[in-house]
């Protein structure tokens, strides 16, 4: 459209293969018109690849946000079961420590973080029966420890602004989703095993206490793990509803005058 509109402009360089582009645009328009329009791309847009924030620790609350951001980035690789337990425990501690700061500004957000603390407490308890050495996650574990230690080092009179609390909430959503994906991927790749009790016959050897016999068995289905059921129900963010109306930029595009067809 812009190429045809400005073709009479002096020294205008027209697009190469304009006819082919026109036919491709027409085919795309016809294909889209066959169904209901989907405007979710208006809200999503393009985002650059997320990278860790390098360099020394930022002062105050910014240092905690820096470590939490780096944790989310480092979770792109699959951690082993031991490091996953440490990461889960760090989220439990960090969320519980942030609740008093949220109560001063946003009590509703504080309630959400109480529920998140309870969820990670439950996941940590359920991960005790999960083992596995596949994966690494040393970088993510280090960033998780940095977030907790920097949070504990904050002065008691520190005030966290609502904008920073919103930043924590955004990072929490991303970490919750990523940990849910890690649990699912660990089962799919055979990286996790589950500890189960094995029945045994008690012999008359004279001992008063007979320890429970335990063994680690492979996990064949994700639904067999209680921790994955918990993550699916409480941890994974609910999908956002599809956008039913076009964004402001698309409305402006439709309202723009079309070039003459002649």
pLDDT tens string 57-77: 999 999 999 999 999 999 999
Higher pLDDT, 27 or 248: 27
pLDDT digits (tens, 9 = 90+) for 135-187: 899 999 999 999 999 999 999 888 899 999 999 999 999 999 999 999 999 88
Q: What is the mean pLDDT of the chain?
A: 84
Q: How far apart are CA 183 and CA 148, in angstroms?
A: 22
**Portion of the chain with pLDDT greater than 70, in percent:** 79
pLDDT of residue 262: 47
Q: How far apart are CA 128 and CA 115, in angstroms?
A: 21
Q: Residue 127, class by beta-carbon neighbours within 10 Å (0-12 exposed, 13-18 middle, 19+ buried)?
A: buried
pLDDT of residue 256: 64
Supply the DSSP symbol for 196.
E
- Band (32; pLDDT cuts 50, 70, 90): low
pLDDT of residue 73: 95
Q: How far apart are CA 133 and CA 147, in angstroms?
A: 24
pLDDT of residue 201: 58
In terms of Cα–Cα distance, which of 3, 42, 37 is closest to 21? 3
Q: How far apart are CA 54 and CA 67, in angstroms?
A: 10
Q: Which residues pair with 233 in a beta bridge?
A: none
pLDDT digits (tens, 9 = 90+) for 251-260: 676 666 555 5
pLDDT of residue 74: 95
Supply the DSSP symbol for 234.
I
Q: How far apart are CA 71 and CA 171, in angstroms?
A: 9
């Amino acid at each position: 459209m812009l190429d045809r509109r400005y073709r009479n402009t002096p020294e205008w360089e027209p697009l190469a293969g304009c006819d082919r582009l026109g036919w491709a645009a027409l085919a795309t328009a016809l294909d889209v018109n066959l169904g209901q329009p989907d405007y979710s791309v208006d809200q999503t847009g393009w985002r650059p690849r997320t990278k860790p924030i390098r360099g020394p620790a930022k002062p105050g609350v910014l240092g905690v946000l820096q470590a939490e951001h780096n944790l989310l980035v480092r979770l792109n690789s699959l951690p082993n079961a031991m490091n996953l337990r440490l990461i889960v425990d760090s989220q439990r501690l960090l969320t519980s420590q942030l609740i008093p700061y949220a109560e001063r500004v946003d009590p509703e957000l504080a309630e959400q973080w109480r529920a998140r603390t309870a969820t990670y407490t439950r996941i940590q308890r359920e991960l005790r029966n999960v083992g596995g050495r596949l994966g690494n996650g040393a970088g993510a574990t280090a960033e998780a420890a940095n977030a907790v230690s920097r949070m504990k080092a904050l002065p008691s009179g520190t005030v966290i602004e609502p904008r920073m609390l919103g930043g924590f909430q955004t990072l929490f959503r991303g970490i919750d989703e990523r940990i849910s994906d890690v649990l699912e991927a660990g089962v799919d790749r055979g990286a996790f095993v589950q500890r189960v009790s094995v029945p045994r016959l008690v012999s008359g050897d004279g001992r008063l206490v007979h320890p429970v016999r335990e063994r680690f068995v492979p996990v064949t289905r994700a639904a067999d793990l209680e921790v994955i059921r918990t993550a699916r129900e409480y941890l994974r963010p609910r999908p956002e509803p599809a956008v039913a109306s076009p964004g402001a930029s698309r409305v402006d595009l439709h309202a723009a005058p079309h070039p003459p067809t002649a």
